Amino acid sequence: MLPEVSFIFGGISTESDSSISSLEHIISSYLTIPDAERPFSVKHLYHLSQEDCLVRTIQVHSALTSSDMRAYISDTGARRGRTLICALDEIQSRKEYVVNLLHGQFGEDGGVQTLAALLGLRGTFGDPYVASLTMNKYAMSSFVSSLLPNEVVKVPRTRLIKSQNMIDEMQIAKSLQGPIVVKPNSLGSSLFTDLFQDTALSEPDIVALLHAILEYDSSALLQEFIPGSEYSCGCMIDSLGVTVLPVIKIETERRFFGRNEKCSGDLVRLKIVDCGDTISNRIKSIVSRIATSIDLYNIARFDFRVDDSAGIWFLECNYIPGLGRGNIFPTMLESHGMTVIDLISFLLSKSSQFKRKDHRIRY
Ligand SMILES: Nc1ncnc2c1ncn2[C@@H]1O[C@H](COP(=O)(O)OP(=O)(O)O)[C@@H](O)[C@H]1O
Ligand SMILES: [Mg+2]
């Protein structure tokens, strides 16, 4: 009998659209495979609605199209939803294997991972503490800079801004030489991320942006801008270790992978830079070192800048990389000879399950 897999997607964060794109890409690829050749069967699609925070189940059948899926997702009034806790409880009672496609807040930051760990769910949730670490750019950068020496990978000088320290930190920020990037500490998709050439001249705009960020995130970052090129490198993790995928160079006209670039495919070119390229070999070795030093399960993707002196700078680790058509991770997979369907098969058959340790020490 084929292994069965369910997916949970959508979610309450601003990144729910990316989550829907990831699901659509996987399901539409799955439905193009003839029945007899499908490597797994899809049991349920669980949509967590951004509108009412309820979960509704979509049944998968061979005639299901992307527009049917879109209609199910948007028409929340037509079907009764249940709370996430009820849905997870049902999933647990059926011992379903669930691929977690909830991107962003709650889905990727340790929120749903904690519920999954407490309920003992099977699937790709992983370790809640590792999810929170990776989602916290400041903490993750501190981890990377203590793990690896500066000559191997650098971390941009950064100031952590909270509502309480905004005024003091703005004074210090003015002493950061050169352009700075302002971004949220734990939102993704380049939301509220901007580049300022002159900190002193742009102070009112920076303060306004910081206020906007702090409405949604508990902290914001003021970070030294690293001129140069943008690279990303993904990996897959199973019980035998880490498989590092081909490195991608992300080319954009303004050499900044901001919100506009992420929302419009036309402004971005993804280029595989793998074979024998020194930068890509160094990036792969960094990814391998980081990924083997934290308890990652399943997959992850790491973003870097590379300056004109070939210095490599760590930006962030994406705990649940986007899997939408044309996204960075599927492009890396393709270059590795895999589709998103092969990835799901890999997760089902090879990746390990996170098991919460016993909390009670029996002396
Ligand atoms: N310190 C920096 N120097 C240069 N560019 C940056 C810096 N920080 C962020 N960026 C740009 O903003 C993009 C988004 O930042 P990133 O830290 O990867 O967060 P996220 O992708 O989660 O929004 C990066 O891909 C990069 O193009
Ligand atoms: Mg990024």
The domain ranges of the chain are: 4-125, 134-153+226-349, 158-224
Judge if the beta carbon of residue 131 lies within 6 A of ligand 1: no
Mutate to test the pocket of ligand 1, among 257, 259, 320 (most ligand atoms within 8 A of CB): 257
Whether the domain at 134-153+226-349 and the domain at 158-224 fall into the same CATH topology: no
Atom 22 of ligand 1 has which residue's CA nearest to it?
A: 188
Over the range 209-246, which residues count as b (16 or more CB within 10 Å of their CB) and which as e? bbeebbeebebbbbbbbbebbbbbbbbbbeeeebbbbb
Q: Which helix (H) or strand (E) holds 53?
A: none
Answer whether 179 contacts ligand 1 (Cβ < 6 A).
Answer: no
pLDDT-wise least confident of 168-172, 207-211, 263-267, 273-277: 168-172
> What pLDDT sits at residue 342?
97
Give the alpha-carbon dihedral of 46, 51, 54, 57, to 10 degrees.
-30
Beta partners for 99? 7
Q: 163-188: per-residue pLDDT in tens?
A: 887 767 666 666 677 899 999 999 87
Q: Share the mean pLDDT of the chain.
A: 92
Report the separation in Å between the CA atom of 250 and the middle of ligand 1, taken as the mean of its atom positions.
12
CA of 230 to the centre of ligand 2 (A): 10
The model's pTM is 0.94
Ligand nearest to the CA of 254: 1
Give the pLDDT band of residue 5 (cuts 50, 70, 90).
very high
- Closest ligand, as measured to the CA of 190: 1
Lowest mean pLDDT among 30-44, 175-189, 317-331: 175-189
Quote the tokens at residue 250: 């992300």
Say yes or no: CB of residue 188 within 6 Å of ligand 1: yes
The whole-angstrom separation of Cα 1 and Cα 13 is 36
- If you measure from the C-alpha of residue 357 to the centroid of ligand 1, how many angstroms do you get, rounded to a whole number? 35
Those residues whose C-beta lies under 8 Å from the C-beta of residue 192, and which sit 6 or more positions away, are: 182, 183, 184, 209, 212, 213, 216, 220, 259
CATH topology for the 158-224 domain: Dna Ligase; domain 1 (3.30.1490)
Confidence tier at 262 by pLDDT (50, 70, 90): confident
Helices (H), 52-190: 66-74, 84-93, 111-119, 128-135, 137-147, 166-173
Nearest ligand for residue 223 CA: 1
Higher-scoring residue by pLDDT: 311, 239: 311
d(CA 19, CA 11) in angstroms, rounded, equals 8
Protein residues within 5 Å, CB atom, of ion ligand 2: 303
Over residues 145-168, mean pLDDT: 91
pLDDT tens track for 51-104: 899 999 988 887 788 788 888 888 777 788 999 999 999 999 999 999 999 999
Q: What superfamily does domain 134-153+226-349 belong to in CATH?
A: ATP-grasp fold, B domain (3.30.470.20)
**CATH number of the 4-125 domain:** 3.40.50.20
333 within ligand 1 shell (Cβ under 6 A): no
- 257 CB near ligand 1 (under 6 Å): yes
Closest ligand 1 atom number to CA of residue 188:
22
Q: Is residue 205 over pLDDT 80?
A: yes
Which of the listed ranges 2-16, 138-152, 187-201, 244-258 does the model predict with the highest average pLDDT? 138-152
Q: How far apart are CA 343 and CA 346, in angstroms?
A: 5
Q: What percent of the chain has pLDDT over 70?
A: 98
